[in-house]
Amino acid sequence: MCFDLANKEIRYNNANSIKLNRTIYVSTGFRLYSDIAEVLMTVTEDSVGGHDTIGGACSNQVNLLRYGIANTCSCRDNFLTALKLYGMSSRDIHANINWFMNVPVNADGSAEIEDGKSLPGGFVELLAEKDVLTLLSNCPQFYNPCSGWNPTPIRVIHWQ
Q: Model confidence over 133-154: pLDDT tens digits?
A: 999 998 887 787 777 777 788 8
Counting other chains too, the contacts that 57-64 makes at CB distance below 8 Å and 24 or more residues apart are 57/93, 57/96, 57/98, 57/137, 58/139, 58/141, 58/144, 63/141, 63/143
- Is the separation of the CB atoms in 50 and 41 below 8 Å? no
Tell me 102's DSSP state.
B
Average pLDDT in the 14-22 region? 97
Q: What percent of the chain has pLDDT over 90?
A: 71
12 or 71, higher pLDDT: 12
Distance CA(50)–CA(11), nearest Å, equals 22
Q: Classify 73 as helix, strand or coil.
A: coil
**pLDDT given for residue 143 in this prediction:** 80
Out of 53-57, 62-66, 118-122, 151-155, which region has the weakest mean confidence (pLDDT)?
151-155
Residue from 109, 110, 124 nearest 157 by CA: 124
Out of 24-28, 90-94, 147-151, which region has the weakest mean confidence (pLDDT)?
147-151
Q: Classify 26 as helix, strand or coil.
A: strand
pLDDT at 80 over 90: yes
**pLDDT given for residue 114 in this prediction:** 85
